[in-house]
Amino acid sequence: MDNTRLEELFESLGPISIRKLFGGKGIYCEGVIVAVVVRGELMLKADAESMPDFEAAGCSQWTYTGSRHGKGVAMPYWSVPDEAFDDPDEMAVWARRAYEAGRRAGK
């Protein structure tokens, strides 16, 4: 996913910055991480408060197998609902949820 498309998707939040992260990209708004792009997939920040919304929308959580212990590790990032990619108003709702989760995390 190129930076121009990411800027379009997060336009409702205002200016974003994009940095290399996890071998992909980190998307920040006002210094708050709101999303990552991992293996070409956009994943939004979530927390205990917003996770039920992501689950209800059928989103999937980013997980990976830890190299040291071989166990699954769940990250606080979730896939974007398909309809949000085509509907700027819907994406604005999800982007705001991700921003608020990032603010609550203090990062």
Mind listing the pLDDT tens digit for each residue in 94-104?
Answer: 999 999 999 99
Instruction: Please tell me the pTM assigned to this model.
Output: 0.92
Mind listing the pLDDT tens digit for each residue in 73-85?
Answer: 899 999 999 999 9
pLDDT of residue 62: 94
Mind listing the pLDDT tens digit for each residue in 29-44?
Answer: 999 999 999 999 999 9
Enter the DSSP assignment of 25: E
Q: What distance in Å separates the CA atoms of residue 33 and residue 81, rounded to the nearest whole number?
A: 19
